[in-house]
Structure 1
Amino acid sequence: MTQEEFQQLLIAYREGTLAPVDKALFFKWLPVYEKQLAEQLDRDLHDPAIQPLGDEATRDIIYNAIQLTAHSDADLSYPMRGKPSLRRWGWAAAAILAGVMVLGSIYFPVYRNRAQPAEAVARLQDVPPGQNKAVLILSDGSKVTLDSAGNQVIRQGATVVRKQGGSLQYDEEERGPAVAYNTLSTPLGGQFRIVLSDGTKVWLNAGSSIRYPVTFAGHERVVEVTGETYFEVADDATAPFIVKAARQEIKVLGTRFNVNAYADEPMVSTTLLNGAVRIVSGNVTRLLKPGEQLATQYASNEVTVRSVNVDNVVAWTSGKFMFENSDIKAVMRQLARWYDVEVMYGSDIPSREFVGEIERDLHLSQVLKILEQNNIHFKIQGRKIIVLR
């Protein structure tokens, strides 16, 4: 490949228009032409037509982010809910879409010598990412272990339950009284999807559960959830859909929304993507509009409503972690649930904030390598991670 041909690939990569086959070619030849990458970043640093890189340190950060990806075996693609505006963000978006998380106000600190990860991480017995797995508790108390392997059919009265891959679907052959309840729960390191008998689709994140009637009857459809769940509710104007979570009750007719009710988070929150929901939290009743999030603080019961980026909130359903001005504890809570590890903290906890995204199909060691480039270190003891400055 000539320098001119590589330059064309480099510009397309910066603009986010590089086709997958060309992206593989770009990273193949990057070690040969890495000087061109550095020179291009130098030019863009002072080009007013390019989204500002910030300063020379930030330019070096993006250089290393791309270099890190070029020398890793990470998958360079992942499902996305919407196509981002790559031209707006320039090199920062290119680094993110390479599968590398952008951290802090200046992204990564720079290490031009491609230093090896910290010894603690190198000694880590690697932990794979979470997978599709759950436990189904039937109305008689019996338990069925579910994963992605094979298909199953379970009959409960007039309802047939079909397990296909990482999804569970309830098909109602005839409506009966809602006397039988099932509970679907995901362990730490697991996720699952379910289609209820009315056609409502529910995604369960790691360490979550939903209790629901095998078949809905009457004038309400009521379910109870813990952890984090994402709903796409089937329309039925005659039977409102009600979700009961910690300190919140969400009433809808047909809509898409996310509920985060993990007990180890500082608050329980409901985020509306479209439609309308009415939420009761203590003495407060609020009607949410799309793009709004209602949060109830566990400690004080304070209720707040704010506008949020809904794509960030539900990024987990598309196989991504999304961090938006998140502190280290918020980051590690997500990792602990997905990788089923225990996290502890040293006496001097880093106060940095994290902004960006990373794929959930990476091994834990890959994630820790990225975090360590932000001057955060870890001590590993079995499945326990101690966070140090």
Structure 2
Amino acid sequence: MKITPQIENLYSRYSSNEITEAELNQLLDYFNVVDRADLHALIESELFETDEQYEANTNLQKHLSNIHHVISASIDAVEKPRTARLQPALKSLLKIAATILVILSIGYLGYTYLWKQADILPGRSLATLKMSNGQEINLDTLANKSITTTYGIQITKSSGDRIVYTRVSAVADTNSYLQTITTPLGGKYKITLADGTQVVLNSGSTLTFPIGFNQAERRVSLTGEAYFEVSKDAEHPFIVSAGRERITVLGTKFNISSYPDDDFISTALLEGKVNCLDVKTNANLILHPGEAALIQNNQLSKSAVDVSNMAAWQQGFFAFENEELAVIMKRLSRWYQLNVDYTSIPEKRIYARIAMQENLATVLDMLSTTSGIKFKIEGRRVTVMK
């Protein structure tokens, strides 16, 4: 016997303690013939009306508390006079119904859904656009359409997770009009700049850029992490300012990570050639494909690396190659919006390649299988077990 709108309505009325005796008899009849999976689905439909994982535990507690309240009320009714709200016969039926639900559901909910509560969902396409006039637009809620045309540039939301800037007419000075796109923790977004440069902005990052490029240099600034495929234009160098580092390119593919809470800035080159400058020390070096620059401890250095791993996130993968566990947990914290207890993390390096669309529990299980390390999840707090 499948769930029907009538059954859902009866269960909702039962849950809120508004059900009549006749209605409760119908619900009890359903309990007698329902498949357990259908009963679980019915309970979850009432418990979890939103997709917000953090509300699950609260809703569960409220629901089980209500069942407990109904049972207590039924027991109390044995010794108390009849009330106008609930007749003794109805209270007895409520006691039966509550008992059935407790027996059939509490083990399922207490284990299965609390595990789902810990099984935090991955990040997704989320970003906010701040226009040059100060207007802010939530891009993830915006349907695919032209947002506006201003200063000769058309701004369009397309493909669900990309914003595109297209020149439609010539304007004297578009470099003065800055746009800012910010991704929250757990967010990622794609951008096509007016010169055709493709950018993928990682979680917890901000990219500021002119609405159009019509000067000698194409300048943008980055906080956080982004992958760039720069449109080739030999006469107009593309310059990225990221913290104390400045990257100058003509046309290339590279990844920059410059989070304020990291003690380093890294740049990995996949294609082309770039010049890396540490504006604090004036040290600079040239990167070739397969090399990465690192600014750390007031030093600028470069090394040969597997740069595809460093940029794998923009293709939807965590790629860890002999990576420190503390660094891995910081990357996971940004994507899954976690509070990580770094004091408990051992000095261990891990090799792993994991899809970023996996839920947190799956990711941690893979890391555990690879390393033998155990993790404890409490809400959004993750502790590495020693």
Q: Could you state the TM-score of these two structures normalised by the residue count of structure 2? A: 0.66
Query: 1:135 deviation in Å?
Result: 0.5
Query: 1:218 deviation in Å?
Result: 1.2
Asked if structure 2 preserves the Cα contact closer than 8 Å seen for 1:170 and 1:196, the reply is yes
Residues 124 and 327 from structure 1, CA distance in 2 versus in 1: closer, same or farther, beyond 3 angstroms?
Answer: farther
Query: 1:194 deviation in Å?
Result: 0.3
SS of the residue 2:327 aligns to: helix
Cα deviation digits, residues 93-141 of structure 1 (max 9, x gap):
xxxxxxxxxxxxxxxxxxxxxxxxx99x947532111111100000111
- Residue in structure 1 matching 2:356, options 356, 360, 367: 360
Asked if structure 2 preserves the Cα contact closer than 8 Å seen for 1:159 and 1:215, the reply is yes
- In the other structure, the counterpart of 2:29 is none
- In the other structure, the counterpart of 2:304 is 307
- Residue in structure 1 matching 2:118, options 115, 119, 125: 125
Structure 1 spans left out of the alignment, 5+ residues: 1-117
- In the other structure, the counterpart of 1:184 is 181
Distance 2:180 2:343 in 1: 38
Cα deviation digits, residues 196-249 of structure 1 (max 9, x gap):
001010011111111000011210000000111111111111111000001110
Count of equivalent residues: 269
Asked if structure 1 preserves the Cα contact closer than 8 Å seen for 2:274 and 2:286, the reply is yes
- In the other structure, the counterpart of 2:264 is 267
State the structure with more CA Rg.
2
Please tell me whether residue 207 in structure 1 is matched to residue 204 in structure 2. Answer: yes
What is the percent sequence identity of the aligned residues? 39
- In the other structure, the counterpart of 1:328 is 325
Alignment of 1:140-151 (within 5 A): 140-147=133-140, 150-151=143-144
- In the other structure, the counterpart of 2:44 is none
Asked if structure 1 preserves the Cα contact closer than 8 Å seen for 2:118 and 2:378, the reply is no
SS of the residue 1:147 aligns to: helix
Cα deviation digits, residues 295-322 of structure 1 (max 9, x gap):
101xx21111101111111111111001
Higher RCO (C-alpha under 8 Å, 6+ residues apart): 1
Asked if structure 1 preserves the Cα contact closer than 8 Å seen for 2:198 and 2:229, the reply is yes
- Residue in structure 2 matching 1:216, options 210, 213, 216: 213
Asked if structure 2 preserves the Cα contact closer than 8 Å seen for 1:257 and 1:270, the reply is yes
Distance 2:257 2:367 in 1: 24
Letter in 1 for 2:119: D
Cα deviation digits, residues 74-106 of structure 1 (max 9, x gap):
xxxxxxxxxxxxxxxxxxxxxxxxxxxxxxxxx
The structure with the largest helix share of the pair is: 2
Query: 1:265 deviation in Å?
Result: 2.4
Letter in 2 for 1:290: P
- In the other structure, the counterpart of 2:106 is none
Please tell me whether residue 153 in structure 1 is matched to residue 143 in structure 2. Answer: no
Distance 2:275 2:368 in 1: 43
Structure 2 spans left out of the alignment, 5+ residues: 1-110
- In the other structure, the counterpart of 2:156 is 162
Query: 1:149 deviation in Å?
Result: 6.2
Distance 1:149 1:142 in 2: 14
Distance 1:381 1:256 in 2: 39
Distance 2:374 2:266 in 1: 31
- Residue in structure 1 matching 2:379, options 378, 382, 387: 382
Please tell me whether residue 174 in structure 1 is matched to residue 173 in structure 2. Answer: no
Runs of 4 or more off by more than 6 Å in structure 1?
A: none
Letter in 2 for 1:162: T
Distance 1:197 1:123 in 2: 43
Asked if structure 2 preserves the Cα contact closer than 8 Å seen for 1:224 and 1:244, the reply is yes
- In the other structure, the counterpart of 1:26 is none
Residues 308 and 173 from structure 1, CA distance in 2 versus in 1: closer, same or farther, beyond 3 angstroms?
Answer: same
Please tell me whether residue 286 in structure 1 is matched to residue 285 in structure 2. Answer: yes
Query: 1:147 deviation in Å?
Result: 1.7
